[in-house]
Amino acid sequence: MEKNMERENIIKNLENELNNVKTKNDLANVKALFLGKSGVVTNLSLKMKEIPNEEKKEYGKYLNEIKILVTNKIEDKNNEIIRLELEAKLNSEKIDITLPARHSLKGSIHPMTRVVEELEDLFVSMGYDVVNGPEIDTDLNCFTKLNLPAGHPARDTQDTFYLDNDYLLRPHTSPAQVRTMEANKNKEPLRIVCPGKVYRRDDDATHSHQFMQFEGLVVGEDISLADLKGTLELFAKKLLGEKTKVRFRPSYFPFTEPSCEVDVTCFKCGGKGCSLCKQTGWIEVLGAGVVHPNVLRMSGYNPEKYTGFAFGPGIDRFAMFKYGITDIRQIYTNDIRFLEQFDRKDAE
Ligand code: PHE
């Protein structure tokens, strides 16, 4: 009975002490108080020598019981502290996933790129290949082989920036015709388009020194002006709308014969006449024609066997029509406020 009381007291004291324990340090102090050198449990075991021999065994059992109880309780408290410390650590390191995400800046497709891509899709669907040519090209490719030998007066209309006597910034994408024909060497019929930047020594308010063209070339047997007309009509209708009408006017280019300028009905007034089309109802969009036999010959094609047509629209105009851009400079100045209007959604 006495022992039970004693044991209960010890446990109660221990529980009281443990209730105040907050840290591992506190716990170490309590442990010393009970299991340390002069701790409560240790003192109890020192009493062993006063116990009569016949009771020693029972006393030993009793001591053991207390030791186990005390050790277990301290161990439990230790585990609790570890758990609480871990919880506190996890809480302090918690990532708050409810925070609003950082805004990611979304780009948009440039209106010129969109027109180029749309045209490429159209021509690829008709069996054309898309080719690229260098923006720095030779005098030979840009002029001579397009039937504009040195000194030809029509060179003036396409004056550009020369790097030296032989190399220049291409004034049109037509050298792509020469390059492609030479690479294919009279081999098979050709159907190509070549989009790209071109340069002119223009210095008036309505022209830019740099703009974009989209050259087209078809060479094969029995290719005629009728094929050119059909192709360009389709081109204009697909790009500017089914109601668009196309008009062909005779013109002159040294590399095509016959040559024509092509007009489309004004996208703004539909042909009635407005300020954009200067009351004519028409807007000029490209030059085209049947490839001159000299051009075919100079690039290795036999003009007796093959004929072809070529066209070369400036596509800045198309982008302006299509997206209602009123100042051509906006296309090239990369003002983000302007470009942001063309977001990806309506590019799809
Ligand atoms: N290269 C001509 C220009 O830049 C356009 C053109 C291309 C004309 C192909 C006829 C054939 O003005």
Same domain, 153 and 47: no
Same domain, 74 and 134: no
Distance 59 CA to ligand 1 centre (A): 116
Structure-token match 């996933």, residue found: 97
Nearest atom, ligand 1, residue 287 CA: 8
Amino acid at 163: L
What's residue 107's pLDDT? Answer: 79
More confident residue, 338 or 308: 308
- Residue nearest to ligand 1 atom 10, measured at CA: 288
CA nearest ligand 1 atom 4, residue: 172
165: domain range?
111-347
Residue 125, in any domain of the structure:
yes
**342 and 280: one domain?**
yes
Residue at which a domain ends, from 65, 92, 119 = 92
Whether residues 26 and 166 share a domain: the answer is no
pLDDT digits (tens, 9 = 90+) for 249-299: 999 999 999 999 999 998 888 889 988 888 999 999 999 999 999 999 999
| pLDDT confidence band for 104 (50 / 70 / 90) | confident
341 Cα to the center of ligand 1, angstroms:
32
Question: For the ranges 229-233, 240-244, 259-263, which has the lowest average pLDDT?
Answer: 240-244
Rounded mean pLDDT, 102-106: 80
List the one residue out of 170, 77, 78 whose CA is nearest residue 132.
Answer: 170
In the chain, pLDDT over 90 holds for what percent of residues? Answer: 61
Number of domains in the chain: 2
Across the chain, mean pLDDT equals: 90
- The verdict on residue 239 lying in a domain is yes
Residue 234: CB atoms within 10 Å? 14
Residue 105 lies in a domain: no
Compute the average pLDDT of residues 127-135: 96
For the cut 60, the answer to whether the pLDDT of residue 320 exceeds it is yes
Q: Classify burial at 147, counting beta carbons within 10 Å of its beta carbon; exposed 0-12, middle 13-18, buried 19 or more.
A: buried
Angle, helices 315-323 vs 225-240, to 10°: value is 30
Domain match, 202 and 277 both:
yes
Q: Is 135 found in the same domain as 41?
A: no
Please report the pLDDT score of residue 217 as a whole number: 97
Question: Looking at the structure, do residues 83 and 121 belong to the same domain, yes or no?
Answer: no
CA dihedral 41, 46, 47, 49 (to 10 degrees): 150
Residue 104 belongs to some domain of the structure: no
What pLDDT sits at residue 197? 95
Residue 98 lies in a domain: no
- Domain membership of residue 243 (yes or no) is yes
- pTM value? 0.69
Same domain, 162 and 240: yes
Q: Which atom of ligand 1 is nearest to the CA of 216?
A: 9
Closest ligand 1 atom number to CA of residue 291: 11
Average pLDDT over residues 80-101: 87
Pocket test for ligand 1, best of 141, 172, 290 (most atoms within 8 A of CB): 172
Residue 318 lies in a domain: yes
Which atom of ligand 1 approaches the CA of 157 most closely? Answer: 12
State the pLDDT confidence band at 348, using cuts at 50, 70 and 90: very low
- Output the CA 311–ligand 1 centroid distance in Å: 6
CA separation for the pair 172, 240 (Å, rounded) = 23
Residues with CB under 6 A from ligand 1: 172, 174, 253, 256, 287-289, 310-312
Q: Whose CA is nearest to atom 7 of ligand 1?
A: 312
Indicate whether 27 pLDDT > 80.
yes
Q: Are residues 123 and 75 in the same domain?
A: no
- Give me the torsion for CA of 51, 52, 58, 61, rounded to 10°: 40
Which of 199, 213, 253 for mutating ligand 1's site (highest number of atoms within 8 Å of CB)?
253
* 145 and 85 within one domain: no
Residue 328 CA, ligand 1 centroid: distance in Å: 20
Over 50: is that where the pLDDT of 347 sits?
A: no
CA of 249 to the centre of ligand 1 (A): 14
Per-residue pLDDT for 186 more than 50?
Answer: yes
Domain shared by 182 and 315, yes or no: yes
Rounded to 5 degrees, what are φ and ψ at 198? -135, 165
Average pLDDT, integer, range 187-212: 85
Choose one of 47, 63, 92: the last residue of a domain. Answer: 92
Q: Is 106 inside any structural domain? A: no
Q: Are strands 256-265 and 136-138 parallel, antiparallel or unpaired?
A: unpaired
Last residue of a domain, one of 92, 127, 148: 92
Are residues 166 and 80 both part of a single domain? no
